[in-house]
Amino acid sequence: MITGLAALQDFFFPQRCLACSRMAYGGIQLCADCLRVMPRCDKCCRRCGLPLTSTETAASCGRCLQHAPAFDGLFAAYWYEGIPRKLITALKYSADLHYIPTLMRLFEACSPEIDENSVFIPVPCHAARIRQRGFNPNHEYLRALARRYPIHCDYKLLRRQRNTQKQVTLNHSERRHNVHDAFVLNHPCDYPVVNLFDDVVTSAATVQEISRCLKAAGVQQVWVWSLARTRLATNRS
């Protein structure tokens, strides 16, 4: 539904769709056609976020029942394909931060309720990569979320102590090895529940390693929140 404020914004500041450049309305920079084809994650395991088979339940898929991940659940708004993939990649590689409000509005629209006794932390980049790119996308996404919701964020709880290779270039077991012991806590965590934000989850090796690290430091629950998740079950760690 278009609110009064959004209608005024449409009138005075008409916007173009970030995906197809046609006019976009309702205070969000995606046109109605592009919004309609956004690949929402549904029928997926609440624990690992991967698609379920017809005999599996949403609580846990067969893989999670056999070998549960270190995190307690994974929420992803969209599958990492089509328009979400296009926008997330454009932001990451062109450093064009004006994609963030639209991506986070989409994320908010389908995310679950936030536990008020929890804290959000971004998956960190190594300092060398931040120098090269100029920013950590996960940090910027969380800042955008924190501007609209009263969430607690700790941007410095976690540090990437090794500059790991890009996960996208590696296979399943190389990814796990690549991130092993890559993260450390800068200070003790004051919250029993941590929400770990990662823009894209592919193999889940990174969020698995961070969850292991947080739980070893006394965190009771870790929930992974992600803009987009790959569907490939073979990529899971």
- Interior CA angle at 9 toward 5 and 10, to 5°? 115
Chain length of the chain: 237
Residue whose CB is less far from Zn ion, 56 or 124 = 56
Helix extents (H) in the chain = 4-12, 32-36, 62-66, 82-94, 100-110, 127-133, 137-148, 172-179, 205-216
CB of 74 to Zn ion, least distance (A): 8
CB of 162 to Zn ion, least distance (A): 28
The answer to whether the CB of 114 falls within 8 A of the CB of 195 is yes
DSSP 178-210: HHTT-EEESS----SEEEEEEEEESS-HHHHHH
CB of 63 to Zn ion, least distance (A): 5
CB of 23 to Zn ion, least distance (A): 9
Residue whose CB is less far from Zn ion, 182 or 224 = 224
In the chain, count H helices and then E strands. Answer: 9, 8
Residue whose CB is less far from Zn ion, 31 or 145 = 31
> What residue ranges bind Zn ion (CB under 5 A)?
17, 19-20, 31, 34, 45, 47-48, 61, 64
Residue whose CB is less far from Zn ion, 62 or 218 = 62
